[in-house]
Chains A and B, each alone.
Chain A
């Protein structure tokens, strides 16, 4: 039934997105990111950021506590593995539901306030979850070490279907296909594409319009007799479910759930991903998530030895100079690059990386921006 309401442009965007995601291992190989773990992270954090963007990009409510839903999703998924089955399907379904329920609870309370007061409420709930998960909730969360699988887990459904994993630690598998390496990535990739499609439908729907209206003029809506809070709460819960799903997928590809996933810095990370990519745009958050994860995993891995090789074409004196300067920005200094990147992006490209993409394509096409694909750069008024 969606097919007849979806525009051609959207269909094309979806097709390109699908193709690009599925071809990820090949496209990203030249920049050193074409290995399963990082690809999985791209897809998972892409989902997380997509969901966050439904709340922040559309309604303007800036949550600083979304990592809590991710964490709850992860814990739920690992517990599902332990108690029910190593099949990822129940795990991600329950993780999504858990994320949704937890976000309904926190959203219901936090949405009574707006602006920075809302942000601090969400931050407070997330920090409480993190601190408790790290300490007194250790029986449920296994604290610092993180919740892990053990050989003696009951796995009731698996036992009922006669699955026996023997003496080794089981890994999650989809009817025999192990959710690690590339199969794991493709599982996440399919989820990402589904999530992208759903968020595209939300953007184009009357509900999405209403959410944008919440952002641009909440008072006017209230005066006209529209209650905005149910809309905002629905957006909050949807984004909480996205986060729960992302958390579940983290556990599917790597069955361990640690408390630090819920720390405020993790909540801050998804905010940064979204703004970096372009808040309120469809593709931006996915790109922002990819950029940050790329920095974290690739830039941190450069050491002096690798740099020496890179600059080996230079004369020796220059080589050492180049290495000592560039080593400030990579390896143990990768945070510096990240911080500088945030500043540069927000100073020169306030609409995030997506604005850069739009500007570039305008340069080549010499025609007005395609605000559907590229989305609207900030301040994103109602379309």
Chain B
């Protein structure tokens, strides 16, 4: 029982990441009708916001220590971060909390990146065939990746969570388990809560603001909304920016779980497309539901007991679910008729 509960937690955690990426992707589908292969790259850029913030905070004051030398004969360098030199203990805390702090940086930066991307490139592709959208956004994703690689290298860069959240939380006790049986890393719980919060915020924004109402109307019937004299294009630009922010935040907060490297976006790209399609193209609720569903099922498929019966099932479970769902429900869990079927 506790093993199953732990796997559910693992699944929710993973599902949180899947849902966040898929949410942005499906918003872009639904509103702009664009297949965005650069969405994984946005996730990766979010993660590198955290890397950059940590690197900037960690810029060190270098003093040379002439009494010691490196093996190749240069004087040994003593490094101390400037924030510590300037702010003392507060600086140390700031460094420790670099991942949460990067959220504040990631939001405006990702919004800007999203808007620039939409205005500079994506908007010229609204009316173009999906194949061309795929080619151009895929090209963009490669370009973004390579730029990141030439600046940060190809190896993963560790981003520890703040010390306070590095421990485990024993919350099995609250559910009546023995102490020590259901313990879970604090940061992963935070990630799950964070993803739920962001999803709720996006839904609230679309549901309860006039802006959101127009966007939803635009998703349902773009032409009519345009005829009403509403400048739908400008709103869609902002929608693209929001989708970029959601993907970016998913990446920023994920860094303590997965050390970021330049290629991480591509790894999530295929997966997030599967999630979106299983959920149903253009369906926000579907994307979220499918994200969590796939996360949890993937965790269960990895259990030894399951693998003993079906060897290799954890390798293919995601795709297997996609096939089954699409054959049973032609438009995914919550997809609408006629969206992206041409």
Contact = CB atoms under 8 A, between A and B. Distances in A.
Interface string B110-152: 0000000000010010001111101110111111011100100
B143 A336 contact: yes
Contacts of A328: 150
Contacts of B146: 333, 335-336, 339
A339 B141 contact: yes
A275 interface: yes
A343 B316 contact: no
Contacts of A336: 142-143, 146-147, 150
B315 interface: yes
Nearest to B141: A339
A318 B320 CA distance: 56
B260 to A, nearest CB: 18
Nearest to B330: A113
Interface string A112-152: 11111100110111011001101110000000000000000
A270 to B, nearest CB: 12
Contact of A127 (B143, B277, B316): B316
Contacts of A109: 323, 327
Given A132-B316, A343-B139, A123 B150 contact: no
With most chain B CB atoms within 10 A of its CB, the pick from A117, A128, A335 is: A117
B18 to A, nearest CB: 15
Given A62-B131, A132-B312, A378-B132, A120 B143 contact: no
B150 A116 contact: no
Interface string A46-64: 0000000000100010100
Contacts of A128: 315-316, 319-320
Interface string B208-221: 00000000000000
Nearest to A116: B340
Contacts of A378: 129, 132
Contacts of A191: none
A125 B319 contact: yes
A339 B142 contact: yes
Contact of A339 (B131, B143, B327, B331): B143
Nearest to A329: B146
A243 interface: no
Given A339-B142, A378-B129, A124 B135 contact: no
A340 B143 contact: yes
Chain A binding site: helix, strand, loop or mixed by DSSP? helix
Contacts of B142: 335-336, 338-339, 342
A379 interface: yes
A59 B131 CA distance: 13
Contacts of A279: 131
Contact of B327 (A60, A112, A271, A335): A112
B341 interface: yes
B49 interface: no
B326 A117 contact: yes
B273 interface: yes
Interface in B266-310: 266, 270, 273-274, 277, 281
Contacts of B315: 128, 131-132, 134-136
B323 A121 contact: yes
Nearest to A380: B129
A36 to B, nearest CB: 29
Given A117-B331, A121-B326, A131-B312, A339 B139 contact: yes
B311 interface: yes
A197 to B, nearest CB: 26
Interface in A323-376: 328, 333, 335-336, 338-343, 345-347, 350
B140 to A, nearest CB: 6
Nearest to B311: A136
A124 B139 contact: no
Nearest to B280: A117
A231 B237 CA distance: 41
A343 B135 CA distance: 7
With most chain A CB atoms within 10 A of its CB, the pick from B134, B147, B311, B330 is: B134
A275 B131 contact: yes
Nearest to A339: B142
A343 B316 CA distance: 32
A117 B341 contact: yes
Contacts of B323: 109, 121, 124-125
Contact of B138 (A62, A125, A272): A272
Contacts of B274: 120, 123-124
* 8 cross-chain pairs, A with B, having the tightest CB-CB distances, nearest first: A339-B142, A342-B139, A136-B312, A124-B319, A115-B341, A336-B146, A343-B139, A131-B315
Interface of B: 35, 121, 124, 128-132, 134-136, 138-143, 145-147, 150, 266, 270, 273-274, 277, 281, 311-312, 315-316, 319-320, 322-323, 326-327, 330-332, 340-342
6 contacts: A117-B277, A121-B323, A124-B274, A128-B315, A135-B315, A339-B145
Given A109-B323, A343-B143, 11 more contacts: A62-B134, A112-B330, A128-B316, A128-B319, A135-B312, A338-B142, A339-B138, A342-B142, A343-B136, A345-B135, A346-B135
